[in-house]
Amino acid sequence: MKYHLEYPELANALYFALKQDAFYQTMEASVVGDKAARKSAMLGYMDFSILEAQKYGECFVPEKQNYGVSIWGKPLQPEELATKHRLKKNFITQHMGSRSFEVYQNICQFMSSKSAELIADNAWYLSIIGILPEFQGQGLGPGLIESVLNKTDALGVSTYLETFTSRNKAFYFRLGYEVVGNFTEPNTEAEYWLLQRQPVSLSES
């Protein structure tokens, strides 16, 4: 069954932004088929992630200029979380294959076990961020994050993220994130960093 992209431009932005990320490289390699089939599967994964965030988390796209997207996870009630996981499993199994779901599950289980030890239960999770190629290098990245951080600051909750790309840390440091953990993920055999940002009160900003 071919997956229909609802947001082809944004899916492509995420795909190219994350081509060097060990998690997405490993996921793409797990898809059975040729190079075109693997890329198509990953574009579907990115598109599904946007739709998933719209329903269960936070999906930010700039109103005036559609130059990129950030995808966030929020704490959910057990029933909602179970439904979200079931839909994700169904999508990956149907459009990427059972091997891909096994890889996805193994990576997520390891990384979740590490973040659970260091991150508050009510924290929001910055899952994915990507800028369209023609807008890269213009300093627009913070604009995909700051609006959501204003929300979490108002709520008084922290946010966190994971990155396999060391050079990305400086970008997140400028937004107030700090490294709280550094691990080697065994399925990708790659090092990654866990970063957290505490909420900033209006009196501090």
Identify the sign of the CA torsion 54, 98, 126, 85.
positive
Mean pLDDT (the chain, rounded): 94
Domain count, the chain: 1
User: Which tens digits make up the pLDDT trace of 50-86?
Assistant: 999 999 999 999 887 778 999 999 999 999 999 999 9
Contact assessment for residue 78 and residue 42, using Cβ atoms and an 8 Å cutoff:
no
- Give mean pLDDT, residues 126-135: 89
Q: Is residue 75 part of a domain?
A: yes
Q: Is residue 204 part of a domain?
A: no
pTM of the model: 0.93
Q: State residue 66's pLDDT score.
A: 78
CATH code of the domain covering residue 26: 3.40.630.30
Q: Is residue 175 part of a domain?
A: yes
* Residues in contact with 183: Cβ distance below 8 Å, sequence separation at least 6, in sequence order: 111, 114, 191, 192, 194
Q: State residue 99's pLDDT score.
A: 97
pLDDT classification of 132: cutoffs 50, 70, 90: confident
Q: Is residue 2 part of a domain?
A: no
- What is the residue range of 124's domain? 8-197
